[in-house]
């Protein structure tokens, strides 16, 4: 891997996190006016069309993209991500972008903690200490507020846990399936499941909000394309730390556009969580 490719991968990851943060802002706005399931359903329609388009362009076409030796796990992965997005958007409505992303930033720590029992990987004592410190950071975020251990405060933590499990299962199925196959199942299964649910919550949308929905769908495809390209040109361990910039971008959006506030405990807790997460990524890279 050349330095130039690594730099390109870092730039693509930064661009991806910016696009995803803007998506979060659009999702919060639309879900504040319409039902969450409907918003995510329409978003997934475009996502499914995108993955089918990508699959059709690969060697062997859609049949090759859909071929898997573990259909149950692939289907569960797709459902898990779809419902995680619904949970996270609900967290945006309940807590806002700043606090939701501050808690969600702990998902790499959950992945590190569960990589032993799920993937059979060895987790050393240093990483366990970092995991423990990271979850202290989560408590710092949640504890000194009026939403202490309320369902609202735990919603982004649930989303982080779901996304961590999705990430672990993605690594697990990669032992037998290609990334193109996993990508195909992620988009199509989510679209099928959310269509079965979302059609019952359909609401008329204004022309302006349809335009915003179009931007949300297009940027979603752009973000996933940039992420795919990122991992094609650079090692995951080199670019993954920059994924934390999504917290920065989303928080800036929440503060400037949605009038949210950044409480000191949220800033301190988020710094602890990110620091612990970066340490676990560093240890994983050294072990690899």
User: For 185-211, how does the pLDDT look when each residue is reduced to its tens digit (9 = 90+)?
Assistant: 988 999 999 999 989 989 898 889 899
125-171: per-residue pLDDT in tens? Answer: 777 788 788 778 777 777 655 544 567 778 998 999 998 898 888 88
Of the listed ranges 63-72, 220-229, 276-285, the least confidently predicted one is: 276-285
Stretch 167-184: mean pLDDT: 84
Instruction: Give 3's pLDDT tier (boundaries 50, 70, 90).
Output: very low
Residue 229 — very low, low, confident or very high, per pLDDT cuts 50/70/90?
A: confident
Q: Which residue has tokens 């394309």?
A: 225
Decide if 142 contacts 193 (C-beta within 8 A).
Answer: no
Q: How many CB atoms lie within 10 A of CB 1?
A: 10
The lowest-confidence range among 64-73, 123-132, 246-255 is 123-132
Which is more confidently placed, 127 or 89?
Answer: 89
- Is the CB of residue 155 less than 8 Å from the CB of residue 163? no
Place 13 in a pLDDT band, splitting at 50, 70 and 90.
Answer: confident
Q: Which residues contact 58 (CB under 8 A, 6 or more apart)?
A: 64, 65, 180
Of the pLDDT bands very low, low, confident and very high (cuts 50, 70, 90), residue 34 is: confident
Least confident interval from 13-17, 31-35, 158-162, 261-265: 261-265
Say what the pLDDT of residue 192 is: 93
pLDDT at 213 over 70: yes
- pLDDT score recorded for residue 196: 93
**This prediction's pTM:** 0.84
Domain boundaries, the chain: 3-287
pLDDT value at residue 1? 42
Distance, CA of 8 to CA of 248 (rounded, Å): 20
Q: Residue 186 and residue 121: Cα distance in Å, rounded?
A: 24
Whole-angstrom Cα distance, residue 288 to residue 282?
A: 10
Highest-confidence segment of 124-128, 206-210, 234-238, 284-288: 206-210
> What is the pLDDT averaged over residues 66-92?
91
Q: What are the φ and ψ backbone dihedral angles of 147, each rounded to 5 degrees?
A: -105, 30
Q: What is the mean pLDDT of residues 262-267?
A: 79
* Contact status, residue 27 vs residue 217, Cβ threshold 8 Å: no
């Amino acid at each position: 891997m050349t330095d130039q490719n690594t730099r390109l991968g870092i730039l693509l990851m930064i661009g991806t996190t910016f696009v995803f943060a803007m998506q979060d802002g659009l999702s919060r706005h639309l879900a504040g006016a319409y039902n969450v399931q409907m918003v995510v359903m329409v978003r997934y329609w475009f996502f499914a069309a995108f993955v089918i388009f990508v699959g059709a362009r690969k060697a062997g076409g859609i049949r090759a993209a859909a071929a898997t030796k573990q259909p149950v796990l692939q289907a569960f992965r797709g459902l898990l991500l779809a419902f995680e997005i619904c949970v996270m958007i609900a967290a945006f409505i309940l807590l806002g972008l700043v606090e939701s992303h501050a808690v969600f930033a702990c998902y790499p720590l959950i992945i590190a903690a569960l990589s032993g029992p799920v993937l059979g990987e060895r987790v050393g004592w240093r990483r366990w200490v970092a995991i423990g410190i990271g979850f202290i950071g989560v408590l710092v975020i949640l504890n000194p507020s009026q939403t202490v251990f309320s369902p609202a405060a735990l919603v982004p933590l649930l989303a982080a846990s779901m996304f961590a499990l999705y990430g672990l299962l993605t690594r697990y199925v990669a032992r037998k399936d290609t990334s193109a196959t996993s990508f195909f199942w992620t988009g199509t299964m989510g679209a099928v499941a959310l269509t079965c649910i979302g059609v019952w919550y359909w609401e008329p949308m204004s022309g302006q909000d349809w335009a915003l929905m179009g931007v949300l769908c297009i940027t979603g495809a752009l973000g996933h394309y940039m992420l795919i390209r990122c991992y094609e040109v650079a090692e995951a361990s080199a670019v993954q730390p920059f994924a934390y910039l999504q917290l920065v971008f989303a928080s800036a959006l929440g503060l400037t556009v949605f009038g949210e506030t950044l409480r000191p405990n949220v800033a301190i807790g988020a710094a602890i969580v990110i620091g612990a997460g970066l340490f676990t990524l560093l240890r994983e890279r050294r072990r690899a």
